[in-house]
Amino acid sequence: MASSSKVHLSPSQKLVFRVPGITSETANVTSELLQKNHEKHHIFFNYAGFHNHIAHHLLSLFALNATVAELRQGWDDNVSYQRPLLPFEQSIVTEMHNPERYKAYLGNEKHYHNFLVFFGEEISHKGWQEVLNDYVFNGDARADDMLVRMFSGVLHPIIHLGFGVEFEQPAIIAEALAQAAVHHNREASHLIDSEKAAKAQGSDSKPIVLLLDEIYADPDRASRNITKYASQVHVSEENLEEKTAEMINAAVYFTGAAQNPPYQVKFDFFYIHAVNLGIFFCSFLQQPWLSMPSKTRLLEWKIRMDLAMYASPRPPELLLDEIVNYKSKKDSSWEDIFKRVKIYHDDGHACKLVRALANAEQFCKKYEDQDGFVIKGDMWRKLGNMAIDSVEAGSPDYVRGGAWSSVPLRDPSKI
């Protein structure tokens, strides 16, 4: 049975998106490898804040019905460079139960293991649902500080949380909470300002794609005044599911359409995190322990973070034709895309992206005729092909911060 210190997956796991055929053997192997990661590795693999993606990678492979060999390949590709956990200090873990002392250790990566043990103890005593409501979603100063930290680090803590919630693994949730606790709260602090501005402004909300257009057209560098756009985001209980689908659709749109011909098709490394996080909002919707106000607020924050990500440092032109007219040499079915991505040697970003895109197609389908939904029909499978083709094409796997000069040029006949 899964606990705050033990990973235990089942072949009958209820997931937002999964490929049929998962066996007890693959569930056991995935659990075994995740347990090793939980017990042995830091959440950062170096001292510059680069994240350990082993949990993301293995859980995505598991959901795509990877073989034992594919799971072990994913582990072997990434285990050698991980940092070991520092020993935890029981005296500090005990101090963390004092709210004032708890704050003193936030934002310091050397306390990751201490926070991991602390949140593991809290989950053991209260259950992971109550701990998440208490420490992340209840709206007091401590929870809001943690929610900001969840959205820091290019969304990694909340992506990690999404995996823990979707796969119902308290140990992964403890990792996510500890990861958030050791991130700084500056990167996403604009979310608090945007929320205050939104409440002062009223409840009118624009389609996300319209806000993307306005950000691109802003001559004064929209990233300097993201609150102006983020404050125009409003989600209600009545439109929560549709707004979730709209968020997913818009994130896929600005990620897939941010191409730069004549360079080869590549996805922006930061934008793909907006897509990879989107799948977990389908899971958050289903959680009975998460209140409706918390669900709407969480989605508003996600949309505002996406807008900030697109705006900074300089928003690219979005070329929808790059998706509509994309021609893959292999033109793979989803089944073949899954086969290709499961054997791709990386740290898991590619299989996370492919799984998120496949889920997005299913989740957005019922809303495709609504305003604000740009990606529809066969564009989804084209995006899946773009995702796997672009990494298989060779280095760099992704564009970072608009640095296209390192990307090879396309075949002139395809420009």
For 356-382, write each residue's pLDDT tens digit: 999 999 999 999 999 999 999 999 999
Task: Return the amino acid letter for 197.
Answer: A
* Residue 71 pLDDT > 90: yes
Report percent pLDDT > 70 for the chain: 99
* Residue 414 pLDDT > 60: no
Task: Return the amino acid letter for 335.
Answer: E
* Per-residue pLDDT tens over the stretch 110-119: 999 999 999 9
Give the phi and the psi of residue 51 in degrees, each rounded to 5: -85, 145
Rg over alpha carbons for the chain, rounded to the nearest Å, is 21
Q: What's the mean pLDDT when you consider all of the chain?
A: 96
Average confidence (pLDDT) over 14-39: 98
Task: Return the amino acid letter for 144.
Answer: D
Whether residue 152 contacts residue 49, with contact meaning beta carbons closer than 8 Å, is answered with no
Give the phi and the psi of residue 166 in degrees, each rounded to 5: -60, -45
* Residue 319 pLDDT > 80: yes
* Residue 65 pLDDT > 60: yes
Nearest to 285 by CA among 323, 316, 245: 245
* b/e 25-51 (16+ beta carbons within 10 angstroms → b): ebbebbbebbeebbeebbbbbeeebeb
* Per-residue pLDDT tens over the stretch 227-250: 999 999 999 999 999 999 999 999
Categorize the per-residue pLDDT at 94 as very low, low, confident or very high, splitting at 50, 70 and 90: very high
The pLDDT value recorded for residue 413 is 62
Q: Who's near 253: CB < 8 A, 6+ residues apart? A: 209, 212, 318, 320, 374, 375
> Hey, how many other C-beta atoms are within 10 angstroms of the C-beta on 140?
10
Categorize the per-residue pLDDT at 131 as very low, low, confident or very high, splitting at 50, 70 and 90: very high
What tokens were used for 46? 């170096």
> Hey, how many other C-beta atoms are within 10 angstroms of the C-beta on 210?
14
Nearest to 15 by CA among 346, 356, 263: 356
Q: Who's near 224: CB < 8 A, 6+ residues apart? A: none
Categorize the per-residue pLDDT at 5 as very low, low, confident or very high, splitting at 50, 70 and 90: very high
Nearest to 236 by CA among 284, 300, 165, 285: 300
Classify burial at 242, counting beta carbons within 10 Å of its beta carbon; exposed 0-12, middle 13-18, buried 19 or more: middle
In the block, tokens 């992206």 appear at 353
Q: 3-class SS at 290?
A: coil
> Hey, how many other C-beta atoms are within 10 angstroms of the C-beta on 305?
24
* Per-residue pLDDT tens over the stretch 156-170: 999 999 999 999 999
* Residue 271 pLDDT > 90: yes
Give the phi and the psi of residue 262 in degrees, each rounded to 5: -90, 15
Number of C-alpha atoms within 13 angstroms, CB side, residue 265? 26
Separation CA 242–CA 232 (nearest Å): 17
Q: Who's near 208: CB < 8 A, 6+ residues apart? A: 233, 246, 247, 250, 303, 306, 307, 372
* Residue 150 pLDDT > 80: yes
Categorize the per-residue pLDDT at 72 as very low, low, confident or very high, splitting at 50, 70 and 90: very high
Average confidence (pLDDT) over 257-279: 98
Categorize the per-residue pLDDT at 106 as very low, low, confident or very high, splitting at 50, 70 and 90: very high
Task: Return the amino acid letter for 309.
Answer: M
Average confidence (pLDDT) over 267-282: 98
Whether residue 234 contacts residue 199, with contact meaning beta carbons closer than 8 Å, is answered with no
The pLDDT value recorded for residue 215 is 95
Separation CA 11–CA 65 (nearest Å): 10
In the block, tokens 């959440």 appear at 43
Sign of CA dihedral 131, 247, 306, 352: positive
What tokens were used for 328? 């893959």
* Residue 205 pLDDT > 90: no
